[in-house]
A = this chain, B = another copy of it.
Amino acid sequence: MSLDARVRLSRGAIDVDVSLRAEPGQVIGVLGPNGGGKTTTVLALAGILRVAEGHVRVDGQAWDDGRRALPPEQRTVGLMLADSLLFPHLTALENVAYGPRSRGVDRHRARDRAREELGRVDLLERASSRPRQLSSGQQARVALARALATDPSLLLLDEPLAALDPDTRARTRSDLATRLTAYGGITVLVTHDPLDALTLADHLVFVEDGHVTQSGTPAEVLSEPRSPYVATVVGLNLYAGEGDSRGHVTTGEGGVVVTTSPTEGRVWATIPPSAVSLHLHQPEGSPRNTWRLRVASVTVQGQSARVGLVGALPVTAEVTLESVTALGLQVGQQVWAAVKATEVRTYPR
């Protein structure tokens, strides 16, 4: 079972052109800003939308070649959308048993299977509730169970964990991880949660404005983001610039970043927020990057704080709460930011 798809179609304001490729057992994490075309891609894979051009091939079989398309019920696909879309007149159990029943499993075994799946999302005791009697998170869990109950060769999950509480989410995430490694199908997982993507996916695809802006393993993406959006997701400061042989990178806005690992030509440069130190006066000593910037925002996050800085370069710094207090950081204040040249990574654009 392998997936080879190129989805081209236009949808509302944007033209979507997304290629996906996966080997059996792989989990593809699809990320991207709202309205980028992630759901559109998923719907095309499921056969609910048809590709205008391109193709969807699973295991060599053409599900859609731009001219003829298999209807969804002839694709072995499992779908869970962000809206849980349970059948309102069926109980939770009947909802989950619907897939196996439709695929010819007898009533008894379908119900057993449904009970098993409901158990896995911890909802066995609500088996005979109707969707309207369930909370949103419970509904999402039933929808997930329903999508998993047909053992699809292509499992499409569109923000499956968004409505779950952290506890259930953690459990579902690890259960999902177990299930996904256990079965040979391919999973396409659309998510906004980097943690989901990083822990569940073998391969990440970033879709922005209908196009793939970056794809690769989580490690590749974490170390070398290639779009500002990806950088936000992985939590790095990212700059597009021109690098010279001395290790100077000049960004579009005129800022200069110095690195000890020079790359020449059009480059990306990254700085981890935790590598940024803040000072009230221009720091003396080793850091070769020092900029005078203005504090735009301070967000406390657990034991540390993220400080948004603007000026010649926009920089996000991550500092301890003590630093915030010690520096008396306030929005609008001028501070010096310093980064050691060894912390700056560059790679070709």
Contact = CB atoms under 8 A, between A and B. Distances in A.
Interface string A150-186: 0000000001001111111110011001000000000
Nearest to A137: B34
A157 B67 CA distance: 45
A133 B163 contact: no
A137 B32 CA distance: 11
A232 interface: yes
B159 A136 contact: yes
A82 B163 contact: yes
A273 B138 CA distance: 29
Interface in A49-108: 82-83
B300 A232 contact: no
A32 B35 CA distance: 29
Contacts of A35: 126, 134-135, 137-138
Contacts of A13: 126, 129
Copy tally for this chain in the complex stands at 2
Contact of A166 (B12, B133, B232): B232
B165 A162 contact: no
Given A83-B83, A137-B34, A192 B169 contact: yes
Contacts of A129: 12-13
Contacts of A229: 167
Given A165-B192, A167-B229, A141 B34 contact: yes
Contact of A198 (B33, B169, B194, B301): B301
A238 to B, nearest CB: 12
Contacts of A167: 33, 229, 232-233
A286 interface: no
A198 B300 contact: yes
B174 A297 contact: yes
Contacts of A233: 166-167
